[in-house]
């Protein structure tokens, strides 16, 4: 495995206990979200539909590329963007459709940085996957992606007894999705909520700063899992096992767990499958970076392994800077946004 990438040991961790880990992350996110509601900075669907909000609430947007105050025209644009999402996504989203509607940047990150996605547990038609984190946040090695196969119940109760065929039909049927990373939470969970394919807690706050155009649907972790669902392999076996339990009409036993040994076996075979392709891609990226900017080769090729000390330790806005940079904002725009955010917090 190339330098700068997490080894499977780092991110897979212990499968046993990973459900508790997933729950802890989920609860922390919910707590943070509830705390945010007391700060009147969230723009709700109601605000957008009504076309007004309290005059003492200064709301900002980056629609148009620069951070500024929201106008009535923006509300109309937001309303239009919501309508587009609703028009495009009604009737459920399959793994293929989620990939098709995602942003190019997330698809690229999924194929470059997320080497493995392993189904670790299931309850009826809801399957939890662990993926490697992709190395953008220090200390975070893995993420939990949860997928509900919406046709599970109807497949389980159908007279057709071929569980493998049923599993394959499920792979191509509509899903509900969730990932516990920040990219999904802050960019896409609102889109998935209004599109009717967000699993779990629904997000009602319009992403006016991060994704006012409502582009894309999934983070790199989710997209890697969608790829896994689309192409089959371990997930087909996993779903077939679930189907067998479902068809036996034993509701209490309609749960599956992947043992540590099985999980490691799956990740090993995935690593084998992706490593050649992966090595070629990394090599090409390094070459390209070397040509474009000889001094920055290491940073560009590996993303997170900059030679400099971690700036986040001293700069409280490093995370925001990094995020805005990834959104394609210029340095001047980023500084303006941070200044505005400091001012807003001071109020």
Q: Measured on CA atoms in the order 13, 18, 24, 26, is the torsion positive or negative?
A: positive
Ramachandran class of 131: left when φ > 0, alpha when ψ lies in -120 to 50, beta otherwise: beta
Q: Report the alpha-carbon distance of residue 284 to residue 137 in Å, rounded.
A: 24
Q: Report the alpha-carbon distance of residue 144 to residue 13 in Å, rounded.
A: 12
Q: How far is the CB of 224 from Zn ion (least distance, A)?
A: 9
Q: Which stretch binds Zn ion (CB under 5 A): 115-123, 177-185, 231-239, 261-269?
A: 177-185
Candidate residues 107, 185, 198, 221; the one interacting with Zn ion per rule CB under 5 A: 221
- DSSP lists the bridge partners of residue 117 as 131
Sort 18 into a burial class: Cβ within 10 Å, 0-12 / 13-18 / 19+: buried
Q: Which stretch binds Zn ion (CB under 5 A): 52-60, 92-100, 109-117, 183-191?
A: 183-191
Is 32 or 44 the residue whose CB approaches Zn ion more closely? 32
Q: Report the alpha-carbon distance of residue 141 to residue 266 in Å, rounded.
A: 18
Q: How far is the CB of 251 from Zn ion (least distance, A)?
A: 31
Candidate residues 116, 122, 150, 181; the one interacting with Zn ion per rule CB under 5 A: 181
199 close to 148: Cβ distance less than 8 angstroms: yes
184 lines the binding site for Zn ion (CB under 5 A): yes
N-terminal to C-terminal alpha carbon distance within the chain: 49
Candidate residues 120, 150, 179, 235; the one interacting with Zn ion per rule CB under 5 A: 179
The DSSP letter of residue 160 is: -
Q: Which stretch binds Zn ion (CB under 5 A): 34-42, 155-163, 182-190, 258-266?
A: 182-190
Is 189 or 242 the residue whose CB approaches Zn ion more closely? 189
128 lines the binding site for Zn ion (CB under 5 A): no
219 lines the binding site for Zn ion (CB under 5 A): yes
Q: Which stretch binds Zn ion (CB under 5 A): 5-13, 161-169, 180-188, 251-259?
A: 180-188
Q: ∠ at Cα 27 (22, 31), nearest 5°? A: 150
Closest CA to 239 of 253, 249, 248, 229: 229
Q: How far is the CB of 200 from Zn ion (least distance, A)?
A: 14
In angstroms, what CA-CA distances link 274 with 143, 225, 233, 271? 19, 14, 13, 5
Q: How far is the CB of 327 from Zn ion (least distance, A)?
A: 16
171 lines the binding site for Zn ion (CB under 5 A): no
Q: How far is the CB of 9 from Zn ion (least distance, A)?
A: 21
Q: How far is the CB of 183 from Zn ion (least distance, A)?
A: 5
Q: Report the alpha-carbon distance of residue 134 to residue 115 in Å, rounded.
A: 8
197 lines the binding site for Zn ion (CB under 5 A): no
212 lines the binding site for Zn ion (CB under 5 A): no
Q: Which stretch binds Zn ion (CB under 5 A): 179-187, 204-212, 291-299, 301-309?
A: 179-187
106 close to 220: Cβ distance less than 8 angstroms: yes
Q: How far is the CB of 345 from Zn ion (least distance, A)?
A: 26
Residues near Zn ion (CB under 5 A):
179, 181, 184, 219, 221
């Amino acid at each position: 495995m190339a330098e700068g990438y997490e080894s499977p040991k780092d991110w897979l961790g212990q499968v046993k206990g990973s459900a508790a880990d997933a729950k802890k992350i989920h609860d922390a996110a919910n707590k943070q979200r509830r705390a945010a509601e007391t700060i009147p900075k969230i723009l709700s669907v109601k605000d957008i539909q009504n076309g007004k909000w309290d005059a003492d609430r200064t709301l900002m947007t980056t629609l148009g590329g620069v951070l500024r105050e929201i106008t009535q025209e923006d509300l109309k644009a937001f309303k239009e963007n919501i309508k587009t999402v609703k028009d495009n996504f009604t009737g459920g989203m399959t793994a293929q459709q989620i990939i098709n509607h995602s942003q190019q940047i997330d698809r690229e990150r999924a194929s470059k940085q997320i080497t493995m996605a392993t189904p670790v547990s299931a309850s009826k038609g809801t399957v939890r996957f662990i993926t490697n984190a992709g190395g953008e946040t220090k200390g975070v090695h893995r993420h939990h992606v949860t997928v509900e196969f919406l046709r599970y119940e109807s497949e389980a109760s159908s007279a057709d007894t071929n569980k493998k065929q049923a599993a394959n039909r499920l792979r191509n049927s509509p899903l509900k999705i969730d990932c516990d990373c920040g990219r999904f939470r802050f960019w896409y969970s609102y889109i998935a909520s209004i599109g009717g394919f967000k699993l779990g807690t629904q997000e009602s706050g319009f992403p006016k700063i991060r994704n006012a155009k409502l582009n894309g649907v999934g983070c790199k972790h989710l997209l890697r899992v969608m790829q896994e669902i689309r192409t089959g392999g371990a997930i087909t076996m996993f779903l077939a096992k679930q189907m067998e339990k479902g068809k036996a009409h034993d509701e209490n036993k309609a749960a599956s767990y992947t043992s540590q040994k099985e999980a490691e076996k799956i990740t090993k075979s995935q690593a084998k499958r992706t490593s050649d392709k992966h090595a070629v891609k990394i090599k090409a990226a390094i070459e390209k970076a070397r040509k474009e900017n000889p001094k920055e080769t290491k940073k560009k090729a590996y993303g997170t392994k900059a030679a400099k000390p971690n700036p986040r330790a001293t700069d409280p806005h490093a995370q925001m800077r990094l995020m805005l940079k990834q959104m394609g904002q210029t340095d001047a725009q980023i500084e303006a946004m941070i200044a505005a955010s400091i001012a807003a917090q001071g109020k």
